Amino acid sequence: MKVVVTDYIEPDLEWEAAQMARRGIEFAAYQLKFTSAERVIEATRDADVVVVNMVPVTAEIVSGWERCRLLIRHGVGYDNVDLAALERAGIPCCYIPDYIVNRRTLAMMKPTAYLVNTSRGPMVDTEALAEALNRGTIAGAAIDVLEREPPPPDHPLFSARNVILTPHLAWYSEDAAWRIRELIVLEIDRFAAGLPPRYVAKAEAA
């Protein structure tokens, strides 16, 4: 069995390499974010499991895989992955799930609640959030990611009450970083044991 990491944000993957060695799993890690599709295919062609952070997983790349039976997306979301191409190839995409916050979900929150988003910008309807903050529907919000970055000068959250905005860095902590790494190894263990991934992304119906 072989696991290949296309790119990563950690200083190194020595811990992952040690974990795979203990399990007798061949392991290789690259930094291919800004390389060609041909280079990505070359590095991942014979992998059973591919772990990707920001490398675009296109139909061309998927078609070049000979053995892959699981793609693991490092982190929340999967907007750099062609899910339809994966589904055609019978390859599940495992990811850390996210949840949509909109007018309906905001209306269900207590007026003492605080909303924190450090996952993906589109997970929160920012216009609805600004309205909820200005009306006092919720007490406050801390937002690290927006649907468009950098945001336009007239973004509704700039004038909203009781909101803290940070430049896509507040998600990071030692605990959060290690939790993601541990979850990836857990999914590899499940794959090796013949178990299905826990969270599988689905392509939207046409």
Q: Are residues 144 and 87 in the same domain?
A: no
Q: How confident is the model at residue 52 (pLDDT cuts 50, 70, 90)?
A: very high
Cis ω before 150 (30° cut-off from 0): yes
pLDDT in tens, 187-204: 999 999 999 999 999 887
pLDDT in tens, 109-156: 999 999 999 877 888 999 999 999 999 999 999 999 898 889 999 999
Q: Are residues 6 and 83 in the same domain?
A: yes
Catalytic residue among 45, 69, 168, 181: 168
Predicted confidence (pLDDT) at residue 205 exceeds the cutoff of 60:
no
Number of structural domains (the chain) is 2
Catalytic residue among 22, 149, 174, 204: 149
Q: Are residues 85 and 119 in the same domain?
A: no
What is the rounded distance in angstroms from the CA atom of residue 80 to the CA atom of residue 153? 27
Q: What is the mean pLDDT of residues 9-16?
A: 95
pLDDT in tens, 149-182: 899 999 999 999 999 999 877 555 677 778 889 9
Judge whether 149 counts as a catalytic residue: yes
Residue 206 lies in a domain: no
Q: Are residues 113 and 37 in the same domain?
A: no
Q: What is the mean pLDDT of residues 81-88?
A: 97
Q: Which of 17-26, 28-37, 175-184 has the lowest mean pLDDT?
A: 175-184
> Which one has a higher pLDDT value, 89 or 173?
89
Cα–Cα distances in angstroms (integers) from residue 146 to residues 79, 99, 105, in the given order: 14, 15, 18
Judge whether 168 counts as a catalytic residue: yes
Instruction: Determine contact, residues 58/37, Cβ cutoff 8 Å.
Output: yes
Instruction: Determine contact, residues 4/51, Cβ cutoff 8 Å.
Output: yes
Q: What is the mean pLDDT of residues 27-39?
A: 97
Residue 25 lies in a domain: yes
Residue (of 94, 116, 106, 169) closest to 138 by Cα position: 106
Q: Are residues 71 and 17 in the same domain?
A: yes
Q: How confident is the model at residue 100 (pLDDT cuts 50, 70, 90)?
A: confident
Predicted confidence (pLDDT) at residue 206 exceeds the cutoff of 50:
no
Judge whether 120 counts as a catalytic residue: yes
Show the domain range for 53: 2-97+173-192
pLDDT above 90 covers a percentage of the chain that reads 78
- Amino acid letter for position 28: A
- 27 phi and psi, to 5 degrees? -140, 135
Catalytic residue among 120, 155, 181, 190: 120
Residue 200 lies in a domain: no
What is the rounded distance in angstroms from the CA atom of residue 106 to the CA atom of residue 124? 10
Q: Which pLDDT score, from 0 to 100, does residue 170 have?
A: 57
Instruction: Determine contact, residues 128/102, Cβ cutoff 8 Å.
Output: yes
CATH number at residue 14: 3.40.50.720
